[in-house]
Structure 1
Amino acid sequence: MTKLSVNINKIATLRNARGGNVPNVVEATRKIESFGAQGITVHPRPDERHIRYQDVRDLAPIVTTEFNIEGKPVQDFMNLVLEVKPAQVTLVPDAEEAITSNAGWDTIINKEYLKEVISEFKRNGIRTSIFVDPVEKMIEGAAETGTDRIELYTEQFAVDFAANKKDSAKAYAQCSQLAHNLGLGINAGHDLSLENIEFFNKEVPFLDEVSIGHALIAEALYNGLEKTIQQYLKLLK
């Protein structure tokens, strides 16, 4: 089955809104794993507006599933990842002013830069993934960087799914097939939800993992965290 990695940034956002340590991201992580999630994702940003660098250090020794750290590979981020040595690092071209990730890498323009960053992580035994739009030339460019996987940026899928479900995953399926042919693993994330995840999972071949945060935490407000995670796991089989 496609693995579910839960992005816990929104839990940290809620904590930061009040100050203190409620909700506790370490305790939340333990609960999420006990409810069946197969991975934990964090995305620390330089301003630490949700997950903080210290959170990443606190989580590293207690995560028992797959730890995935996302972010733009600025020097502080690279130092953190090399210190923590997670199972996977996902490289995201975050714009500083962006509220959330809103574009994949141009793997052609940034090929040499990405090759250098990826080689450093791989030398330290960390699996790498590149956040990309569902554009075939960007998949081909990703394969030339030496990355292990790509993560398909799925916001456009979510928008199209609401308007025209039938064709919403077509470009993603084509890009996933291409990535597989090029020897890359395939992850996906952004705006995936209980409403659209089953269709995406069935339509897009070779998915290794989906990373879901905002929708899952929002749905858990209504359904409860354990029930929501179990619903995702059922839909991902």
Structure 2
Amino acid sequence: MAKLSVNINKIATLRNSRGGNNPDLVKVALDCERFGAEGITVHPRPDERHIRYQDVFDLKAMIATEFNIEGNCREQKFVDLVLASKPAQVTLVPDADGQITSNHGWDTIKHKDYLKEMVALFQAAGIRVSIFVDPVVEMVKAAAESGTDRIELYTEAYAHNYYDNREKAIVPYVAAAHKAHEIGLGINAGHDLDLHNLKYFSESIPGLLEVSIGHALVSDALYLGLENTIQRYLHQLKH
């Protein structure tokens, strides 16, 4: 069964909208763990519009499950943050400046030498590395050549096409996962996975280790409650 890592960026957005510390980000993370989440994910950005850099240290000191920090390693401040906080995993995402949300994976062929350097840097600090990639076999192969431990499959295209033809939508992800498994890469996934499309995805992807879900999960929690929502997501991951 793939692990569920809850991305709490949206909780931080809500907190920041009024200042102060309501909702308490650390308490929410601890409650997510208590309700069954097996990891906590954050994605700090340079403007700190949701996750603040201090949040990373506050969370690291308190959470007991796996801590995953996503972000753009081309920002030196992000690199320094990860090396100082030493999460269990860093997920390298090629965000552009001012980007609202992640919307593409790395071109691991074009940036292979750079990624190899960054992967080695984080691994030397004892941090597992995952590279955010589109479901393209060639990108998966080049990611492996960087020395990364895992890839994270960018699942927006799957989610977008799920209702039109889920069998067709999953095809490139299955191919990418088979290639990753063949060459020894761990497989994570995330972006726009939700209670409707998660079960089919998790059942279809061989060797899926972890999904990171934030926006949909927090949105569902407005209606269903946080504990019930997390339990429902965990149920979708059970085969």
Shared fold (TM-score greater than 0.5)? yes
Q: Which residue of 1 aligns with 2:196?
A: 195
Instruction: Give SS of 1:140's match.
Output: helix
The within-5 A match list for 1:13-24 is 13-24=13-24
Segments of 5+ residues of structure 2 without an aligned counterpart are none
Does residue 1:164 correspond to 2:144, yes or no? no
Q: Which residue of 2 aligns with 1:32?
A: 32
The within-5 A match list for 1:40-79 is 40-73=40-73, 74-79=75-80
The within-5 A match list for 1:100-111 is 100-111=101-112
1:175: Cα distance to partner?
0.3
Whole-angstrom CA distance in 2 between matches of 1:165 and 1:67: 31
Aligned residues: 237
Whole-angstrom CA distance in 1 between matches of 2:230 and 2:170: 23
Does residue 1:236 correspond to 2:237, yes or no? yes
Whole-angstrom CA distance in 1 between matches of 2:206 and 2:171: 11
1:170: Cα distance to partner?
1.0
Instruction: Give SS of 2:102's match.
Output: coil
Segments of 5+ residues of structure 1 without an aligned counterpart are none
1:97: Cα distance to partner?
2.5
Does residue 1:206 correspond to 2:212, yes or no? no
Whole-angstrom CA distance in 1 between matches of 2:127 and 2:107: 22
Does residue 1:217 correspond to 2:221, yes or no? no
Whole-angstrom CA distance in 1 between matches of 2:98 and 2:62: 32
Whole-angstrom CA distance in 2 between matches of 1:35 and 1:119: 35
Give me the identity figure in percent. 62
Structure 1's consecutive aligned runs of 4 or more residues displaced over 2 angstroms after TM superposition are none
TM norm structure 1: 0.99
CA RMSD of aligned residues (A): 0.6
1:63: Cα distance to partner?
1.1
